[in-house]
A and B are shown apart, each in its own frame.
Chain A
Amino acid sequence: QSVLTQPPSVSAAPGQKVTISCSGSSSNIADNYVSWYQQLPGAAPKLLIYDNDKRPSGIPDRFSGSKSGTSATLGITGLQTGDEADYYCGTWDSDLSDGVFGTGTKVTVL
């Protein structure tokens, strides 16, 4: 049972924007950096955002991350059919001394 909660699914039309929330606590999100991962169908996860809001080389600026208190948010603008995937947040939990992932969110492009 994950300590980070995400909505099971979000959807929007092509070209629109979606946001995915990741809700945690003072021992994980509030106290540590958050990362976000994209998992396309049948593929391994891929790093999208690290250190709350930084993008690795090659990740388009349509993807953005932010954090406030015990919550983090991933934003995707200019939605494309190729963005249909599962998205996970992740961070460290200082109380558990363990890494944790969010419950995952499926993005559907209508």
Chain B
Amino acid sequence: EVQLVQSGAEVKKPGDSLKISCQGPDYSFSSDWIGWVRQRPGKGLEWMGIIYGGDSDTRYSPSFEGQVTISADISKSTAYLQWSSLKASDTAMYYCGRIEMATFDSWGQGTQVTVSS
């Protein structure tokens, strides 16, 4: 199992920008897909999008297209999820994970994002 370490909890105001990270300290993303999953309070898992480490090919789920940006820095073995203007409805736990054949086989510990005025 691959270890993925996510950045810490964030508290932001509506309209703020934010970039959270997911690092694989002991492995290279270069031949893997990394995905992001949203879990709103008390709700289920939602597939947000994925990025291929080798060439940064990125695919977004329709609900998240245009709402977030997924990127990666292979030299740092780190994937990112960012917002340019947060809304209260972005309050959620966000998980990253390594994907193999549409299966998340390793998960980060999660990053709590709270957006409140």
Contacts and interface: CB of A to CB of B under 8 A. Distances in A.
Interface string A77-101: 0000000001010111000111111
B102 A90 contact: yes
A104 interface: yes
Contacts of A51: 101, 103
B58 to A, nearest CB: 13
B102 A99 contact: yes
B45 A45 contact: yes
Contact of B103 (A50, A86, A96, A98): A50
**B contact residues, range:** 20 to 34
* Interface of chain B: mostly helix, strand, loop or mixed: strand
B107 interface: yes
Interface stretch (A9-17, A18-26, A32-40, A67-75): A32-40
Given A101-B45, A104-B44, A104-B45, A47 B103 contact: yes
B7 to A, nearest CB: 14
**A contact residues, range:** 20 to 34
A45 B44 contact: no
Contacts of B102: 32-33, 35, 90-92, 99
Interface of B: 1, 35, 37, 44-47, 50, 59, 61-62, 95, 97, 99-110
16 contacts: A39-B45, A44-B95, A44-B107, A44-B108, A45-B45, A45-B107, A50-B101, A50-B103, A51-B101, A51-B103, A88-B44, A90-B102, A91-B102, A99-B35, A99-B47, A104-B44
Interface of A: 2, 32-33, 35, 37, 39, 44-47, 50-51, 56, 86, 88, 90-92, 96-104
